[in-house]
Structure 1
Amino acid sequence: MLLAIVLMIVGLLLLVYAADRLVYGAAVLARSMGIPPLVIGMTVVGVGISLPELVVSTTAAINDQMDLAVGNAIGSNIINILLILGGAALIHPLSVRSDILRRELPLLLLVTALCGFVLSDGELSRLDGVLLLASAAVFMMLVIKIARAAEKEGLDTLTYEQMSELPQDSSNTVAFLWLALGFIIMPLASGMIVDNSTVIARYFGVSELVIGLTVIAIGTSLPELATFIAGAIKGEDDIALGNIIGANIFNTCLVLGLPALVAPGSFNPDAFHRDYWVMLAVSVVLSGLCLMRKHRIGHLAGALLLCGFIAYMTVLFLVPDSIAF
C-alpha cells in the first residue's frame, strides 16, 4: 500500500515536470516559426496547463476506468477554484483588470452548461467527444479574436503579462529535446498514476470516482497551482486568473472530449448528479467575483471558497456514493 502511494506521487511529479518541459519546447518552436506571442500564450501554454489532466484521463479511459477519467476532469475544475483560487485570495487579494478575462467568463459558463448536457445520460460517447473537442477549437479561436480586439484598443494587461512569461532565448535543438522528453515521460507517468490509484481506492474502500475527484485531481492541478503562485508573487493577477479560467475550459472540453473519442463508456451517475452541479456552482461564483463592481477577489471570498472546498471533500469521503445530494 505504501509503495502504491509513493509510486503515485512520483508519477504525479514526473507528469507535471514533463508537461512543463513539453510546453516550454512547444512555445520555443512556435516562436521560432514566427507565431505571435499572443497566440502562443492563448493556445500552446493554455492547453499545456491542462496536459496532466488530459493524459491521465485518456489513459484511464483506455484502461476502462471512465470514473477516474471523469472524476479527474470535474475535480480539477472544482479544485482550481475552491482550493487554488481560494487559498491564493485568502493570502493575497486578487485584482481583475483584464477585459479579456471578463469576456472569457461567459465562455466558461457556456462550456460548463455543455458539459452538463453531455454528462446527463451517464455515459460519454464518441459523438460527445467530437462535440467537446469542436468546442475547444471554437473556444481557442474566440479567445484569440477577443485578445486581438483588446490589443487594438490598447495592450491589455493579460496579453502583456503573457508575453513577458514566454521563453525568450533557447535553441530549437533544446526545444526538440524537451518535446521528446515530455512525450516519452508523460505516458509512463500517467500509467503509474492510474495503476496505483486503483490500488489505493481498493485499499481504502472508496470509488475510483472519488479518487479521481480528490487525489488525482489535486495532483494533476499542480501546474495551475505553480503558475498561479508564480503569477501572484509577481503581481500578475490577470495571468494567474487567466490560467485558472483557461484550464477549466480546456479541462471540460479536452479532458472529457479526448477520452470520450478514443474510449467511450459509462461512468458513475454521481459524477453528474452530485459533482457536476458543484462544478457549475463554483464556476458561477467565480464569474460573479470577477464581474463585481470592484473587480477584486478579497480575503473573505478566499476564506469562503476554502470552506467550500473543505465541505465538498468531507461529503465525498463521509457520504457514500449514490446517497450524497
Structure 2
Amino acid sequence: MDTGISKLLRRDYDTEPEWTARGMLPDSGPNCTPPAIMDFPNFMREKSILYTCICIVCTLYFFVMLAIVCDDYLVTSMERLCYTLRMPYDVAGATFLAAATSAPELFVSLISTFITKGDLGIGTIVGSSVFNVLAIAAVCGLLSPAATLDWWPISRDTLWYLIAIAVLFVFVFDSHIKLYEAGIMFGLYFVYLVLLIFDRKIQKKIRKIELELDIMDEDPLVREEDPIKSFREHICDFPTKEDHWCKKIWFYIKYPAEVLLAITTPSARWIFFLTLFVAVLWISVISYMVAWFLTIVGYNFGIPDSIMGLTVLAIGTSVPEVCSSYIVSNKGYGSMAMCNAIGSNTFDIFVCLGLPWIISILIYKQDVVINSSGLAVTTGMLVLTALLLYILFLITKFVLGKFIGAATLIGYIIFLAVSCTLEIIWLKPMCDE
C-alpha cells in the first residue's frame, strides 16, 4: 500500500539506480513513481479480468478467515492470558493485542525491505494509522453497547502515540535514518513496556484506583456464556435441520476455513501462548495476501495507488485491528479495544519501522534514505486524528458510544475527501511497466 501520503516518508528512488539494475523497472526518469504492484512478488502482474475476479473472491474469503482467527483464536487466547497473568484489560490491549494485530505491518515491512526491496512497509504503516484511530472508534462506538472507559489508559496511550509521531518527525526530518536513530526508536518501545508493567503502581501514586476493577476474575475455560471452543467443536459443530437455510449456506461457505484453522491452530483451551503465536502467523500471512490481491485489483481497474492506499488497502491491512477491537468491545472490554487501536500505532512506528531499519542498516552498511519533502503534512494528519479522538473522549467524559462513533466516522470521511484531493493534486505519473 504505497500511498501518495506515504510516499512523503518513503525511500527516494530517484537516488537509487538499483531499480533499473534489479530489472524491476525500466529507467523511466526521476519524474515518476513505481507502481505499488512492484512491491509484491512477480505473479499476476498482467492485466486480466480473470485475475481480477480471482483476487476479489479470494480477498472476500480472506476477510472471513481473519474474522475466524480473531474471534476463535486471538481474542480467546488473550482472555486466557489476561486471566493467567492478572493483567488489566487496557495493558493487554496496548501490548499483546496491539502487537498481535500489528504483526501484519511488521511482516509486510520485513518482506518489503529484504525480499521485494521496496517501501511497502512505510506505506502500510502510515496509511493505516488514521484508520486505526478513527475508523475503529467509529465501528466500536456505533456497533457495540455504550461503555464508560477509564480516562487513564486512553490518556497514557495517546501521549505515547504523540511521542512516537514526534520522534519519527525528528529522525526523518533530515531524510536519513542512522543506526542510532533506529535503535532509539526500537528502544523507546521497551521503555513504554516497562512503564506499562509498573502502570498500576504509577497510578496508585497519582490517584485512587480499584485494583481489581478491570482485571478478569472469571476463568474463560469454565464460563458458561461464550465458552472457548475445542478442536471437536470447531470441526463437528454442524447446523441442525431446524436452522435457517441462510445459516446453513454460511456454515458451508466458511467450513473449509474453519477446518484449515482448526488443524493448524491449537485451541486456546490448550497451550494458549502457542495459540496466540500461530494466530499471529495466520493474521500476518492473510493480511499480506489481502494487501497484495487488493493491489492487483486496483492495478487492473486503473485506480491510482495513492487512492487505493488511502481507502481499500488501509482498510484491508487494518482488518485484524477492527475485528479484534469490535469483538473485545462487544464483550465489555472497551478499554482493551481503544488501547489496541492506539497502541498498535505506537507499535507500528517504534517496532515495525525501527526494527527493519536497524536490520537494513546492519546488513547493507548504509543509512536508510527517506523522502521527507511533505513530512509536516503527514505528521500534522497523524497528530490531528489522535487529538480529535482524545477531544471527543473529553467531551463525552470517556463514554464510547454513538456520539463518538458518528463523530469519528464523519472525521474519517472528511480525512478521506481531503487526502484524496491532495493526492490527486500531488500525484506523479506512474512509471511505465
Give the letter for the 2:210 counterpart.
L
1:47 aligns with 2:99: yes
Q: CA deviation at 1:322?
A: 6.4
Q: How does 1:204-283 map to 2 (within 5 A)?
A: 204-206=301-303, 208=305, 210-263=307-360, 265-266=368-369, 269=372, 272-283=375-386
Q: Does residue 155 of structure 1 match 2:210?
A: yes
Q: 1:64 aligns with which of 117, 124, 128?
A: 117
Instruction: Report Cα offsets for 1:199-221 as digits up to 9, x if no partner.
Output: 23433445555544433331232
Give the equivalent residue in structure 2 for 1:135.
188
Q: 1:214 corresponds to which letter in structure 2?
A: T
Q: 1:212 to 1:105 in 2, by over 3 A?
A: same
Give the counterpart letter for 1:131 in structure 2.
I
Q: Judging changes above 3 Å, is the alpha-carbon distance between structure 1 residues 209 and 135 closer, same or farther for their aligned structure 2 residues?
A: farther
Aligned partner letter, 2:385: V
Distance 1:281 1:70 in 2: 19
Higher helix share: 1
Question: How far apart are the structure 2 equivalents of 1:211 and 1:203?
Answer: 12
Secondary structure of 1:154 counterpart: coil
Q: Which position in structure 2 is the counterpart of 1:97?
A: 150
Within-5 A mapping of 1:198-209: 198-206=295-303, 208=305
Instruction: State whether residues 86 and 301 of structure 1, in contact with CA within 8 Å, keep that contact through their aligned partners in structure 2.
Output: yes
Larger Rg: 2
- Give 1:115's match in structure 2, choosing from 168, 182, 192: 168
Indicate the SS of the match to 1:203.
helix
Shift of 1:121: 4.2
Shift of 1:28: 5.3
2:87 counterpart (34, 37, 40): 37
CA deviation digits over 1:167-193, x for unaligned, max 9? 557778543653564465455435523
Residue identity opposite 1:305 in structure 2: T
Question: 309-318 or 117-126: which moved more?
Answer: 117-126
Whether contact under 8 Å (1:96, 1:290) holds in the other structure is: no
1:125-164 per-residue CA deviation (whole Å, 9 max, x = no partner) reads: 55443222211111111122223433684335xx744535
How many angstroms apart in 2 are the aligned matches of 1:126 and 1:19?
35
Identity of aligned residues (%): 25
For the 8 Å contact 1:231–1:237, the answer to whether it is kept is yes
Q: Which runs of 5+ in 1 are unaligned?
A: none
Contact kept in structure 1, 2:93 and 2:343, CA below 8 Å = no
CA distance 1:122–1:48, change in 2 (3 Å): same
Contact map agreement 1:231 1:239 (CA 8 A) in 2:
yes
On the 8 A contact 1:41/1:163 being kept in 2, the answer is no
* Contact 2:310–2:416, Cα closer than 8 Å, also in 1: no
Letter matched to residue 183 of structure 2: V
Amino acid of the residue matched to residue 154 of structure 1? I
Question: Does the CA contact (< 8 Å) of 1:54 and 1:255 recur in 2?
Answer: yes
Gap change, CA 1:72 and 1:276, over 3 Å in 2: farther
Q: Which residue of 2 is the match for residue 84 of structure 1?
A: 136
Q: Deviations over 1:260-287 (max 9, x none)?
A: 2344755665773543321111112223
What secondary structure sits across from 1:64 in the alignment?
Answer: coil
Are the equivalent residues in 2 in contact too, given 1:96–1:238 (CA < 8 A)? Answer: yes
Q: Give the RMSD, CA atoms, in angstroms.
A: 3.9
**Given that residues 125 and 348 in structure 2 are in contact (C-alpha distance below 8 angstroms), is that contact kept between their aligned partners in structure 1?**
yes
Alpha carbons of 1:297 and 1:70: their partners in 2 closer, same or farther (altered >3 Å)?
Answer: same
Alpha-carbon distance in structure 2 between the residues aligned to 1:186 and 1:266: 30
Structure 2 Cα separation of the partners of residues 237 and 133 of structure 1: 28
Superimposed CA distance per residue, residues 47-69 of structure 1 (whole angstroms, 9 cap, x where no aligned partner): 22322332233323332231x32
Give the aligned residue type for 1:97.
Answer: D
Aligned position for 1:145: 198
CA distance in 2, matches of 1:263, 1:166: 44
Does structure 1 conserve the Cα–Cα contact (< 8 Å) formed by 2:290 and 2:317? no
Secondary structure in 2 matching 1:37: coil
* Structure 2 residue matching 1:223: 3-state secondary structure: helix
Structure 1 residues 162 and 136, CA, compared in 2 at 3 Å: closer, same or farther? farther
Q: Distance in 2 between matches of 1:151 and 1:87?
A: 33
Identify if the C-alpha distance between structure 1 residues 41 and 240 changes in structure 2 by more than 3 Å, giving closer, same or farther. Answer: closer
Give the Å deviation of 1:78.
Answer: 0.6
Compute the TM-score of the two structures, normalised by the length of structure 1.
Answer: 0.76
**Change over 3 Å in CA distance of 1:316–1:43 after alignment to 2:** closer
